[in-house]
Chains A and B, each alone.
Chain A
């Protein structure tokens, strides 16, 4: 006798007999995980949105006038619209993943083929209109500390340095690969990473363009070739340059071993050229390497 067969008392005696005795449909309540602990009344504060004053992680964001953002809104946005205008421009289709064809049922649900010639699909490039004027969405600052691979506590200094510069507590990054000659082992902490938006971002931009970069003697600008072809521009600062940040400059004995920064501007410009123009409007110099 099959154990899967469940006998339920019914009005007709033939109902249970005629039905197939084995069901392949699994009961749903086994599949959907419910974290009952999160439903505790104790955790109600955690579920609130962060901008609610009752939330435990409430932090006011609009604390003062934001001069960089205002400059962008009042002056730069309309200039960038005019600068990027191209009459009769159409959307440039990106290189997308391709279908295998529809002549066989096996091809219908197969994972799409790679785009032609490249390994990754690229995005469409839309012409600039009044609703998609390029702007900086966020800045990602990453700092790599090679020495922390050996002594993980050395990473504290790197993360503290990032926190001081950006006003945001950084995340620890871990090495991804095992490369024995460099003594890189998977899962070892090796630096920190911060993504800043809003006022922290504009503050960082003005610190960079007004205090740090002008005082670096060897700094010519951001390379005109930099960019990931999606409108995100990256440049690096040496440990020597990081000393120029006012948060570190006056307390150099507290930060004995500085590490360099890798700064990525994430923009919605779509192409690198537009992103570079945007950054130049915010006061970053560019040069031809």
Chain B
């Protein structure tokens, strides 16, 4: 069983006896093997030990400032959220109205418009916006594929 924290015992001395430290000139060499060192290294990258910063200890004035900022942000976000929600609600209602209308006007077209599109996927060309545009912002040379039917 591997235990990196087990103290390395020096052979020849029974445990408990006093070991006199002798000064050795030069760099100290560790007794761990290469693979052990690697695992210790990995564990040290993963663990929080000796890596955590000091806790924030804001004074009262800073605390009030921070809370004001966060409250303003929350209000800003809430308004945006509300606006988006209202717009989506309007969109939903307009889809509903359009379909009701179509049902009255032309039942056949309604059937076609309400047909389920199983297996429809969004195209991969519809990409997530990036922070900066590509060198060629728009692809112009598109030619439609020949339909094989």
Where the two chains meet, the residues of A that have a C-beta atom closer than 8 Å to any C-beta of B are 53-54, 56, 58, 62, 65, 67-68, 70-71, 73, 77-79, 81-83, 85-88, 129-131, 133, 151-153, 156-157, 159-160, 163, 169, 206, 209-210, 224, 254, 273, 276-277, 280-283, 285-286
- In the assembled complex, the CB of B132 is this many whole angstroms from the nearest CB of chain A, namely 11
* Closest A residue by C-beta to B73: A62
Please determine whether B120 and A58 come into contact, CB atoms closer than 8 angstroms.
no
Which of B1, B100, B117, B121 is most buried by chain A, counting CB atoms within 10 A of its CB? B121
Please determine whether A83 and B42 come into contact, CB atoms closer than 8 angstroms.
no
Please determine whether B96 and A87 come into contact, CB atoms closer than 8 angstroms.
yes
Please determine whether A87 and B99 come into contact, CB atoms closer than 8 angstroms.
yes
* Closest A residue by C-beta to B92: A130
Please determine whether B128 and A67 come into contact, CB atoms closer than 8 angstroms.
yes
Please determine whether B2 and A153 come into contact, CB atoms closer than 8 angstroms.
yes
- In the assembled complex, the CB of B101 is this many whole angstroms from the nearest CB of chain A, namely 11
Where the two chains meet, the residues of B that have a C-beta atom closer than 8 Å to any C-beta of A are 1-2, 39, 42-43, 45-46, 55-56, 58, 63, 66, 73, 84-85, 87-89, 91-92, 95-96, 99-100, 103, 110, 114, 116-122, 124, 126-131
Please determine whether B121 and A153 come into contact, CB atoms closer than 8 angstroms.
no
**One of B42, B56, B130 near A53 (C-beta < 8 A):** B56
* Complex: A88 Cα to B76 Cα, angstroms: 36
A160: B residues at CB distance < 8 A: 42-43, 45-46
Q: Classify the secondary structure of A's interface with B.
A: helix
* Complex: A125 Cα to B67 Cα, angstroms: 41
- In the assembled complex, the CB of A266 is this many whole angstroms from the nearest CB of chain B, namely 20
Please determine whether B91 and A78 come into contact, CB atoms closer than 8 angstroms.
yes
A280: B residues at CB distance < 8 A: 121-122
**One of B55, B88, B130 near A133 (C-beta < 8 A):** B88
**One of B2, B46, B55 near A159 (C-beta < 8 A):** B46
Please determine whether B46 and A71 come into contact, CB atoms closer than 8 angstroms.
no
Q: Assuming A68-B128, A156-B46, A157-B42, is B91 touching A82 (CB within 8 A)? A: yes
* Closest A residue by C-beta to B52: A56
B92: A residues at CB distance < 8 A: 81, 85, 129-130
* Complex: A152 Cα to B39 Cα, angstroms: 11
**A-B contact list, 14 entries, CB within 8 Å:** A53-B56, A53-B58, A54-B63, A68-B128, A85-B99, A87-B99, A87-B103, A130-B85, A157-B42, A160-B45, A210-B128, A281-B126, A283-B124, A283-B128
